[in-house]
Structure 1
């Protein structure tokens, strides 16, 4: 799975447009340091995501990674779930 996320993140980073990715917050992985840390923006989501009427939350923390051609400096922040 980690290899597939890395390939997907590489493609997102190299895109000629703004790309927003919802990914596991795996700061200890190779793909995180090779791609996510080169993003325009990283938003850590507080708590664990839960989709729809699911009884269970995701078994991992999540982050939103934004690759954009207009941003030069990396912004990192956390956000509350709505």
Structure 2
């Protein structure tokens, strides 16, 4: 998270798909109030190129967007 945050400070747009762990230090240090956050409803499901489905992720997910211009859109 620190690397993503630091890259965003140079003006780079960074998009992350990560577990929604709002109780962690990195969430409060590098995400909350510093990036756009989109919480995904439900659990992510994955399948391979042959169509084999895997069990859903055991955790909720969020998309974090550093838009490159230092604006917080929460």
TM-score normalized by structure 2? 0.79
Task: State the shift of 1:45 in Å.
Answer: 0.3
Is contact 1:25-1:60 (8 Å) kept? yes
CA distance in 2 between counterparts of 1:45 and 1:51 reads 15
Structure 1 or 2, whichever has the larger Rg, is 2
How many residues get paired?
67
Higher-helix-fraction structure: 1
Instruction: Give 5+ residue unaligned stretches, structure 1.
Output: 1-8, 76-82
> Where does structure 2 lack aligned partners over 5 or more consecutive residues?
none
Greater relative contact order (Cα < 8 A, sep 6+): 2
Greater fraction strand:
1
* Alignment TM-score, normalising by the size of structure 1: 0.72
What is the Cα deviation at residue 58 of structure 1? Answer: 0.2
